[in-house]
C-alpha cells in the first residue's frame, strides 16, 4: 500500500494535566485544529483503558471532522479499538515489528529518538517518522536523557539524508514561540530539514490555542530572514548604504538591551548615546519580554563575566527576542579561555540563533573549533588572513549568522562574502572593553537593519574604527585615557554629521572584498 501523505508541520501532543482550568482537552484540541494543527497525538499516561478509549473516541470525532490524523501514544490496543491513524512509541515501548503486525502497513508508526543510533534502528524497523528530542529541558516529561539541542537534530537529519527511504522528522521538547523558529531552520542540513515540530504545553496549556497554533505554524513554514544570503556583494554598493544605517540609528533611536560585563557597562552605555541609540543594561529575566517588545529593539549578549546562572539568563533573553523576531548579537568574551566559557558558548550555539557574532581571533577560532594562540581576553594575530577568512565563512554558513573577527584588521563574513576592513588605531588595543563596545554599536546598527545584517556589521565597524583614528589625533589626546573621551566625541560627531548628510568622513574607509588567491 502506498503510504499516506501526512503533514507533520504542527503536531499537537496532548497532556491531560496541562489543560487550563475551565476548559477541556477536547475544547483545546478543537481550538488548536482551528489554528492549523496538522496532526494530533493523544497521550494519556495514567488513564484506565476504558477512559482512554472513551476519550480517544471523543478526540477522534474532532480530528476526523477536520481531516487531521489522530495517533495514539504507546497503546496499540487503544489505537486498534478506535481505528486510529497510528501510534507513537518510545524507546521502551512495544517493538515496531509487533506494532506493525498488529496495525498493518497503512497505519502511521512513529518513534522517539535522541541519537543517530536510535534513529538508525527505527529506520531499519520501518517507522514512518521519528520524533527527535528532547531539544530543550522539558517540564512536561521528566527527561531520561540530556537535551540534545540544535546540534543533536542536525546529527540525526544528516544521518537520515543518507538513507534511501524517506523517514519523516519532527522535533520535540520545549518547542514554543521562543524556540520553534530557531530549531526548525537552524537544524537544517544540506538536502534535509525537519518536517515539523511536536508541541505539548505551548498549545495544550494555552489560553488561546488557536492563536498560538497559527503563530507556531507560521514559524515552521515561513523561512526566516537569516536563512538567505545575498550573493556577490561588492564594496561600493555596501559602502553606499552605510550612511543610511548610521542615520537610521540617529533618527529611530533603537533600543539596545545590553547584557554586558561591569568593565564595559558605562563605556557601552555612553557610546550608545553618542551614536543615537537608547541603551539599557539589564540581567533581570522577568523584564526581558517587555524589553524585547520595544520597537526597534536589539539584544547584545556579552559573556564577559561568568556568574552561576549566566547561561540561563542568556537563554531567557535570547528566547524573548526570538519570540518578538528581534535581533541578537553575541560577544563571546574570552570564549576559549576556560572550560566554563567553552561550555557556555557551546550551549548558547546549541539553543539559540544569533544574528551577529563578534569576537577577536582567539574567541572566534575557539567557537569554530580551531586552534589559536589566544590567552585571557587579549587577541593574537598570527594567523594568515586566508585562515581567518576560511574560518569565519564556515562559521557564518553553519550558524546562519554574520561573523565579525576583530583585530588590527577586521574581517566580516556572511558565509558567501567576506570583507577586510583596515581602519582603526592601536589605542583600541590599549584600552579595556574596546571590543565589547563594538558589539554594542553593532547591536544598534542591526536593530535598524534586520534585512541586511552584513551591512549593519560593516556600518558599525567603519563608524567605530574611523572615529578611533580621528580621536587618536584629536586635540588634547595624549594616550589611552584621553583617547576614550575623544572616541565618544568622534562617534557623536560622525553620527550627527552622517544624519545631516555629510558623509565625507567615509572617504577614509579602507576596506576590500576578500578574494582567496588561486
Ligand atoms: N592594532 C590595532 N590597530 C587598529 N585597530 C585595532 C587594533 N587592535 C584592535 N583594533 C580595533 O579595536 C576594536 C576591538 O578589537 P579587539 O580585537 O581589540 O577586541 P577585543 O580584544 O575583543 O577587545 P576587548 O576584549 O578589550 O573588549 C576593533 O574595532 C578593531 O578594529
Ligand atoms: C577585562 C575583562 N574581564 C572580563 S570582561 C573584560 C572586558 C574586556 O573584555
Ligand atoms: Mg583588544
pLDDT digits (tens, 9 = 90+) for 275-330: 999 999 999 999 999 999 999 999 999 999 878 899 999 999 999 999 999 999 99
User: Ligand 1 center to residue 441 CA distance, Å?
Assistant: 14
Residue 5: the pLDDT is 86
Q: b/e map of 277-311 (b: 16 or more CB within 10 Å)?
A: bbbebebeeeebbebbebebbbbbbbbbeeeeebb
Residue 378: the pLDDT is 39
Other beta carbons within 10 Å of 471: 23
- The yes-or-no verdict on residue 174 having pLDDT over 70 is yes
Ligand 1 proximity of 268 Cβ (cutoff 6 Å): no
Q: Where are the beta strands (DSSP E) in 264-386?
A: 278-281, 297-302, 328-331, 356-360
Ligand 1 proximity of 423 Cβ (cutoff 6 Å): no
Q: Is 436 a catalytic residue?
A: yes
Residue 141: the pLDDT is 59
Closest residue by Cα to residue 69 from 87, 44, 53: 87
Ligand 1 proximity of 406 Cβ (cutoff 6 Å): yes
Residue 18: the pLDDT is 98
Residue nearest to atom 5 of ligand 1 (CA): 424
Measured distance CA(22)–CA(486) in Å, rounded: 63
Measured distance CA(324)–CA(403) in Å, rounded: 23
- The yes-or-no verdict on residue 383 having pLDDT over 80 is no
Residue 232: the pLDDT is 86
Q: What integer best gives the mean pLDDT of the chain? A: 95
DSSP-derived secondary structure letter, 17: G
Look-up of cell digits 563575566: 305
Return the higher-pLDDT residue of 488 and 2: 488
- The yes-or-no verdict on residue 486 having pLDDT over 70 is yes
Cα dist from 87 to 7, 40, 167, 171, 180, whole Å = 15, 10, 15, 17, 24
- Which ipTM was obtained for this model? 0.93
- The yes-or-no verdict on residue 93 having pLDDT over 60 is yes
Residue nearest to atom 19 of ligand 1 (CA): 435
Tens-place pLDDT, residues 221-273:
999 999 999 998 999 999 999 999 999 999 999 999 999 999 999 999 999 99
Measured distance CA(225)–CA(93) in Å, rounded: 41
Catalytic annotation, pick one of 329, 436, 486, 488: 436
Measured distance CA(91)–CA(371) in Å, rounded: 39
- The yes-or-no verdict on residue 342 having pLDDT over 80 is yes
**Residues around ligand 3, an ion, CB closer than 5 A:** 429
Residue nearest to atom 13 of ligand 1 (CA): 435
- The residue-averaged pLDDT of 364-382 equals 66
- The residue-averaged pLDDT of 119-126 equals 97
User: Ligand 1 center to residue 434 CA distance, Å?
Assistant: 6
User: Ligand 3 center to residue 517 CA distance, Å?
Assistant: 29
Residue 377: the pLDDT is 41
- The yes-or-no verdict on residue 374 having pLDDT over 50 is no
- The residue-averaged pLDDT of 339-362 equals 96
Amino acid at each position: 500500500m502506498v503510504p499516506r501523505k501526512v503533514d507533520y508541520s504542527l503536531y499537537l501532543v496532548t497532556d491531560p494535566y496541562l489543560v487550563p482550568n475551565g476548559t477541556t482537552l477536547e475544547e483545546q484540541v478543537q481550538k488548536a485544529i482551528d489554528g492549523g494543527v496538522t496532526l494530533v497525538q493523544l497521550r494519556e499516561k495514567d488513564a484506565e483503558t476504558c477512559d482512554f478509549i472513551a476519550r480517544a473516541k471523543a478526540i477522534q470525532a474532532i480530528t476526523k471532522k477536520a481531516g487531521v490524523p489522530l495517533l495514539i501514544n504507546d497503546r496499540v490496543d487503544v489505537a486498534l479499538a478506535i481505528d486510529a491513524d497510528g501510534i507513537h512509541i518510545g524507546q521502551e515501548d512495544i517493538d515496531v515489528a509487533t506494532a506493525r503486525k498488529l496495525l498493518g502497513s497503512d497505519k502511521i508508526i512513529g518513534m522517539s529518538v535522541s541519537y543517530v543510533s536510535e534513529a538508525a534502528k527505527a529506520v531499519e524497523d520501518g517507522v514512518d517518522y521519528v520524533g527527535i528530542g528532547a531539544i530543550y529541558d522539558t517540564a512536561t516529561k521528566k527527561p531520561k536523557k540530556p537535551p540534545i539541542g540544535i546540534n543533536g537534530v542536525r546529527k540525526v537529519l544528516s544521518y537520515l539524508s543518507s538513507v534511501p527511504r524517506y523517514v519523516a522528522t519532527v522535533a520535540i521538547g520545549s518547542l514554543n514561540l521562543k524556540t520553534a523558529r530557531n530549531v526548525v531552520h537552524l537544524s537544517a542540513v544540506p538536502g534535509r530539514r525537519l518536517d515539523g515540530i511536536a508541541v505539548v504545553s505551548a498549545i495544550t496549556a494555552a489560553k488561546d490555542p488557536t492563536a498560538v497554533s497559527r503563530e507556531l505554524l507560521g514559524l515552521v513554514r515561513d523561512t526566516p530572514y537569516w536563512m538567505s544570503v545575498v550573493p556577490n556583494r561588492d564594496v561600493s554598493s555596501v559602502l553606499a548604504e552605510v550612511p543610511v544605517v548610521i542615520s537610521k540609528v540617529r533618527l529611530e533611536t533603537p533600543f539596545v538591551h545590553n547584557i554586558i560585563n561591569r568593565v564595559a557597562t558605562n563605556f557601552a552605555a555612553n557610546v550608545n548615546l553618542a551614536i543615537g541609540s537608547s541603551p539599557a543594561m539589564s540581567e533581570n529575566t522577568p523584564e526581558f519580554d517587555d524589553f524585547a517588545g520595544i520597537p526597534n529593539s536589539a539584544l547584545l549578549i556579552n559573556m564577559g563575566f561568568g556568574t552561576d546562572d549566566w547561561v540561563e539568563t542568556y537563554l531567557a533573553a535570547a528566547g524573548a527576542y526570538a519570540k518578538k523576531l528581534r535581533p541578537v548579537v553575541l560577544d563571546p568574551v574570552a570564549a576559549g579561555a576556560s572550560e566554563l566559557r567553552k561550555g557556555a558558548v557551546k550551549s548558547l550555539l546549541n539553543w539559540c540563533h544569533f544574528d551577529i557574532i563578534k569576537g577577536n581571533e582567539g574567541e572566534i577560532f575557539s567557537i569554530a573549533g580551531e586552534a589559536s594562540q589566544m590567552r585571557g581576553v587579549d587577541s593574537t594575530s598570527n594567523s594568515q588572513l586566508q585562515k581567518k577568512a576560511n574560518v569565519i565563512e564556515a562559521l557564518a554558513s553553519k550558524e546562519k549568522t554574520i561573523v565579525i573577527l576583530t583585530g588590527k584588521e577586521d574581517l566580516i563574513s556572511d558565509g558567501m562574502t567576506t570583507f577586510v576592513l583596515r581602519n582603526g588605531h592601536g589605542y583600541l588595543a590599549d584600552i579595556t572593553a574596546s571590543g565589547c563596545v563594538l558589539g554594542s554599536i553593532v547591536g544598534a546598527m542591526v536593530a535598524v537593519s534586520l534585512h541586511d545584517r552584513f551591512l549593519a556589521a560593516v556600518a558599525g565597524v567603519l563608524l567605530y574604527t574611523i572615529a578611533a583614528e580621528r580621536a587618536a589625533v584629536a586635540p588634547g589626546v595624549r594616550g589611552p585615557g584621553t583617547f576614550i573621551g575623544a572616541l565618544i566625541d568622534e562617534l557623536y560627531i560622525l553620527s550627527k554629521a552622517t544624519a545631516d548628510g555629510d558623509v565625507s568622513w567615509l572617504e577614509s574607509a579602507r576596506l576590500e572584498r576578500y578574494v582567496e588567491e588561486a
